[in-house]
Amino acid sequence: MSPESARSLPVPSWAGQYLRDHALHALVVAFFILYPFAYDLFVGQFGLIAETVLLRPRTMLTVLWLGLFAMSFDFISGYTGYLSFGHATFFGIGAYFVVLGYNGQLPLLPGELPFMTLLVLGGVVAAVAAVLVGLIAFRLSGVYFAMITLGVSEILFVAAENFDFLTPGGSDPSDGVTPGTPSGIETFTPELGVPLVDALQVEIGAFGDTSLLGIDLGPIFNETSAAIVVSYFAIGAFVLVSYLAMQRIIHSPFGRVMIAISENEERAQAIGYNTFWYKMGAFAISAFFGAVAGGLLVGYQGFIDPQNSFFFLVTGFALVAAIIGGLKTLVGPLFGYFFLEWVEEFLAREGSGGGLQPFLEQNLPDSLLDATISGGLTVSKALDSFMTGHGEFYAGIIFVLFVLFVPVGLLGTLRLRFGTQSLSKHVSHRLGALGSETEADDQ
């Protein structure tokens, strides 16, 4: 991950200033970089307790790509006020484009293109799709926009479940598609990194590279497979770059027009903005990054099915994450996902290791576990039925509580309390009286 090197190398003065202005960013990036190391350390030291409260690095991977998807959702829904309720459309387009493109099933495209190429092309295709959807949907206001986009994602969902074209091998398309399946196509080896620089590219996936920048991570990590850690860093770097790109757009003149549209579209028109095309632009950009998120998922997983791409609940979870993290905060939805996944893992992890239930079962005395609550229900059975597999149930409760009591979300609340500017100033101040007080860039 590149910021790592930027922090340890001797840097020119402007870079130092830049880092001070973005101290909050640097802190968050440092947290994500250190996370797998910390996980390994804590789990090695404290065993089950650490596993209970910490997200597995494999889950952190999901947080990354779904977080990116939720950020792209916030980009259009939060910053222009148009709820893109069918945003899964773009996630799915990105994911399926990588698979079909790699398998050579798309017209005009040779098969076996590099993963990065497919990722970016998929984003472009999604942006074009967004323009086509927008041509219809942006002629209508709020609710109808949400309904039209939802309708489009449902159409694509049904198509992805039923079109035999997707699976030339003859399997059921609703079971999903895999890159590299037809005979004659090479195995899918998704390389992520800086194009044309071999040293800065790694193969992601559960069976991908285990060394990063020439360092073999295998011996360093005991609790997590090194391939997961390498994928985590590579995908994390990509998500970071995507975030910074979106953040830059938000703080540009164009982004300010988006915000003006969300606050008062009538007035935005009255002062001379053709809001239709600004909305289109914002929608296309948002679709691009939504598709990239889908492509990253396929890159790691080497597989995609309609349920996890075009299905409306994919958007639903992005919405939940965005509300918990804070709509109109861009990075908030990533934290929202982090929080959601943490709740789900903590309260109900199926199988072995981690989560509250295995922890309680190991640590509570047997006499208590076997105690009867009523009828044939023992404490152990109650734990089993109330916890295992019910993470989403609890996430739902938390969602309702957030809507009621924290309507602007986690990050939104922080920013309201400290102010956008002063939050980052506060942090950079704390970080060290590094230099004279200077105008902090918008966080």
Partner 1 sequence: MLRTTALTKRFGGLTAVDSVDFTLDDRLTSLIGPNGAGKTTFFNLLTGALEPSEGSIELERSEEWVDVTDHTTFETAQFGVHRSYQITNIFPTSSVLENVRIAQQAHSDDSWQFWRNVNAFDEHYERAHEILERVGLDRKATEPAENLSHGEKRQLEVGIALAGDPDVLLLDEPNAGVSTEDVDDIRGIIEDVATDHAVLLVEHNMDLVMDVSDRIVVLNQGEIIADGKPETIRGDPEVQDAYLGGYEPGDLERTEGVA
Catalog residues that contact partner 1 under the rule CB under 8 A: 248-249, 251-257, 259-260, 263-264, 266-275, 278, 281, 285, 441-442
Closer of 21 and 161 to partner 1 (Cβ): 21
Residue ranges of the alpha helices (H) in 251-355?
253-263, 265-270, 275-301, 312-325, 332-347
Cα separation of 334 and 325, whole Å?
Answer: 7
Closer of 2 and 269 to partner 1 (Cβ): 269
List Cβ neighbours of 349 (8 Å cut-off, separation of 6 or more). Answer: 355, 357, 358, 388, 391
Closer of 266 and 366 to partner 1 (Cβ): 266
Q: Tell me how far, at minimum, the Cβ of 284 lies from partner 1, in Å.
A: 11
Q: Tell me how far, at minimum, the Cβ of 418 lies from partner 1, in Å.
A: 15
Q: Tell me how far, at minimum, the Cβ of 230 lies from partner 1, in Å.
A: 31
Cα separation of 323 and 290, whole Å?
Answer: 17
Cα separation of 345 and 62, whole Å?
Answer: 12
Q: Tell me how far, at minimum, the Cβ of 85 lies from partner 1, in Å.
A: 23
Closer of 280 and 298 to partner 1 (Cβ): 280
Q: Tell me how far, at minimum, the Cβ of 253 lies from partner 1, in Å.
A: 5
Cα separation of 40 and 42, whole Å?
Answer: 6
Cα separation of 238 and 317, whole Å?
Answer: 21
Closer of 225 and 275 to partner 1 (Cβ): 275
Q: Tell me how far, at minimum, the Cβ of 255 lies from partner 1, in Å.
A: 7
Q: Tell me how far, at minimum, the Cβ of 300 lies from partner 1, in Å.
A: 29
List Cβ neighbours of 343 (8 Å cut-off, separation of 6 or more). Answer: 391, 394, 395, 398
**Cα–chain-centroid distance for residue 149?**
20
Closer of 181 and 247 to partner 1 (Cβ): 247
Q: Tell me how far, at minimum, the Cβ of 442 lies from partner 1, in Å.
A: 8
Q: Tell me how far, at minimum, the Cβ of 373 lies from partner 1, in Å.
A: 50
Closer of 172 and 263 to partner 1 (Cβ): 263
Closer of 230 and 258 to partner 1 (Cβ): 258
Closer of 179 and 255 to partner 1 (Cβ): 255
